[in-house]
């Protein structure tokens, strides 16, 4: 009986150790192919230090910060081109400033190699190779509308539709128009979500006077069902203030009072403008390549390589 147990354990664990040894000692890291003179200045939120790094190295760290590593490579390629376009736009905007981007959601989340080595452990080489391959395969590619690099906004999860830029940001950009995005419902766990907070906290965060009875009325919605204006206990508010002050996941929200608490239900995750990341995942799983994903979410754009 002992021999059978030992034999079974060997069958189970020997392949595991072979894979472990391969990942730790024999798997080689892929090198990035990039133009050394093309750099970006990244302000690190935690330290305030401004780091100057090759743009393509930055894009690898952004992919790690902005998309789950398990995403299909075509979705990751779409993100790489979108993030590179976004970064180049910021470099243009900030040429007279001390830095181009911050490493947080204020711009794009960037994770450095030291962080990733700790976070990924034995899977570091495998994961970093996946991301570097994606970056190498889209090297220097950005999106243009006419002759200008686009402001390639993106977000996590739609409510079934993306939103036009003029609705959320008061920017009428022709390539950021509302698109149907039906994949999100099946790919994202954040498609529907809810959270509870006390009635007192709810009013306090919104700067409203406490009232035992919560009454709210939607005054205006966009064509994608996102709220633009509403009234809460007779006070008119815009949805951006409510979204920010309550830390909501989406502009598509509703409230339900439950005794002394408020249940906040949301559909989607993020501002809703540009490419839906989980929509991109769904498109990739349906067989679309990254060029098709980008041309779908960013209207009338073309992917081109930047000149050296």
pLDDT of residue 8: 52
Which residue, chain included where needed, has tokens 């007779």?
234
pLDDT of residue 36: 72
pLDDT of residue 16: 42
Measured in degrees and rounded to the nearest 5, phi and psi for residue 279 equal: -65, -40
pLDDT of residue 18: 40
Does residue 14 sit in helix, strand or coil? helix
What is the Cα–Cα distance from 78 to 138, expressed in whole angstroms? 9
Beta-carbon count within 10 A of 24 CB: 12
pLDDT of residue 17: 39
pLDDT of residue 19: 40
pLDDT of residue 33: 87
Measured in degrees and rounded to the nearest 5, phi and psi for residue 175 equal: -95, -5
pTM of the complete model:
0.89
Walk along the chain (308 residues) and give the pLDDT tens digit of each residue: 555 655 554 565 444 434 444 444 567 999 998 877 799 999 999 999 999 999 999 999 999 999 999 999 999 999 999 999 999 999 999 999 999 999 999 999 999 999 999 999 999 999 999 999 999 999 999 999 999 999 999 999 999 999 999 999 999 999 999 999 999 999 999 999 999 999 999 999 999 999 999 999 999 999 999 999 999 999 999 999 999 999 999 999 999 999 999 999 999 999 999 999 999 999 999 999 999 999 999 999 999 999 86
User: Taking a C-beta distance cutoff of 8 angstroms, is the pair 301, 143 a contact?
Assistant: yes
């Amino acid at each position: 009986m002992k021999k059978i147990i030992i034999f079974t354990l060997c069958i189970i664990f020997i392949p595991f150790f072979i894979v472990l040894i391969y990942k730790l000692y024999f798997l080689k890291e892929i090198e990035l192919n990039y133009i050394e003179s093309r750099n970006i200045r990244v302000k690190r939120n935690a330290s305030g230090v401004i780091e100057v790094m090759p743009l393509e190295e930055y894009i690898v760290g952004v992919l790690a910060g902005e998309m789950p590593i398990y995403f299909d490579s075509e979705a990751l390629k779409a993100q790489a081109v979108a993030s590179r376009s976004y970064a180049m736009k910021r470099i243009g905007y900030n040429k007279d400033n001390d830095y181009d981007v911050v490493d947080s959601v204020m711009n794009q989340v960037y994770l450095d190699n030291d962080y990733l080595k700790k976070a990924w452990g034995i899977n570091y080489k495998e994961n970093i190779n996946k991301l570097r391959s994606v970056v190498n395969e889209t090297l220097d590619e950005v999106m243009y509308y006419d002759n200008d690099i686009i402001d390639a906004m993106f977000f996590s999860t739609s409510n079934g539709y993306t939103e036009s830029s003029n609705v959320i940001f008061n920017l009428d950009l022709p390539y950021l128009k509302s698109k149907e995005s039906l994949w999100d419902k099946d790919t994202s766990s954040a498609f529907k979500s809810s959270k509870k907070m006390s009635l007192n906290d709810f009013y306090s965060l919104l700067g409203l006077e406490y009232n035992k009875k919560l009454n709210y009325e939607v005054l205006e919605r966009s064509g994608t069902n996102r709220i633009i204006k509403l009234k809460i206990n007779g006070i008119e508010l815009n949805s951006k203030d409510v979204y920010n002050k309550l830390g909501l996941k989406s502009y598509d929200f509703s409230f339900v009072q439950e005794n002394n608490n408020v249940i906040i239900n949301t559909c989607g995750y993020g501002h809703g403008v540009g490419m839906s990341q989980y929509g991109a995942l769904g498109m990739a799983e349906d067989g679309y390549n990254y060029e098709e994903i980008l041309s779908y979410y960013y209207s009338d754009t073309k992917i081109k390589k930047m000149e050296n």
